[in-house]
Amino acid sequence: MKSTLFQSSGIGHLFALITIIVWGVTFVETKVVLTAFTPIEVLFFRFALGYVALWAIMPHPMMVAQRKDELLFVIAGAMGVTLYFLMENIALTYTTASNVGIIVATAPLFTAIFLWVAARVSRQRKAQRATDPSNSQDNRECVFGEPTVSAMAMNMPLGSAAETPETPEISGTLEERRAEMFQLVRFLIGFVIAMAGIACASLTGDAAAFLHIAPFENAFGCLLALGAAIVWAVYNIFSKTISNHGYGVIGATRRIFFWGLLFMLPALAVVGFQPDWQALLRPEIGGNLLFLGLVASALCYVLWNKSISILGSVKTVTYLYLVPVVDVIASALVLGEPITPLIALGLGLAIAGLLISERN
């Protein structure tokens, strides 16, 4: 019963929502900590605390089943921990926070594109295998641990029996293509609506700041934010692949943190690591850093990765549409910033886009 409960789609959506709420309010904590430490120091402290916390929760090593599986953790750590945060933080120094927020929110689109391309390749391989009479493998495919539209559209579980020989293959192909196109159009409609809402909610307060940014610096910052969206999409796909290989979420997240911390060392060597240790004794610094490490990193990465294992990469990553919603609400409650009618419209559009994209 317990295992079934924690594999239900409702739990997956709940974990993703909790994670986004926490990540949406971390901007305030990060700004406070950045008054005492550099961005790379904050990043290192944050994930080092998370790594130690995950060891405390599960104090025994996790062995990889195959040596080649280690590459999955290496890529996930480099993408989802080191590169994503470095690119996002550097982008914030070249362009406005609203630009970065809007561009990073395109991660669901890149996730869907990568999986769609991989599904097309998988379908071509399946067609080639179908021409071999000796091939008896099931023709329901998975790509990076995700059931493709071809499998989902037929409303059949993975590993179920294929169509009978009497069913014309061309008919099945056309049905799959129609279902795939319908799902793609619905996802894109939800994406456009959500991005319009995010733009309404994010751009209203940054117009003046945007005018004071040099065009080259702004373009460079936007490119870095776009890179952050791409590497986050890759991370989510590899997180699903790791889950599909049967690794536990806590041990897998800890191993991802390990590789992420390892990839930070060159950046620390270049930038320098000379933190103000006395600042850790200040409650506003030490407390916020503990929150970032234990809650926003250790807990939320575990919840996020678990959500990916249940819902899949695309469904989970679309919750990024809600980050501006949480940010605006938190700013109104904590900082007293007003919610204008345009911002309210943007929040509604972002939520509507999420609901449209989330539909099966």
In the structure encoding, which two tokens stand for residue 241, read together?
């692949």
Residue 141, CA distances (Å) to 27, 112, 119, 158, 241 in order? 40, 16, 8, 8, 14
Q: Where are the domains of the chain?
A: 9-126+139-158+169-358
Is 160's pLDDT higher than 50? no
pLDDT digits (tens, 9 = 90+) for 187-241: 778 878 877 877 776 665 555 444 455 567 777 888 888 899 899 989 999 998 9
Enclosing H/E stretch for 142:
strand 142-143
Enclosing H/E stretch for 201:
helix 169-203
Angle between helices 249-271 and 70-77 (to 10 degrees): 50
Look up the pTM and report it: 0.75
Closest alpha carbon to 86 in 239, 228, 269, 244? 228
pLDDT digits (tens, 9 = 90+) for 26-66: 877 777 888 888 888 889 999 999 999 999 999 988 888 88
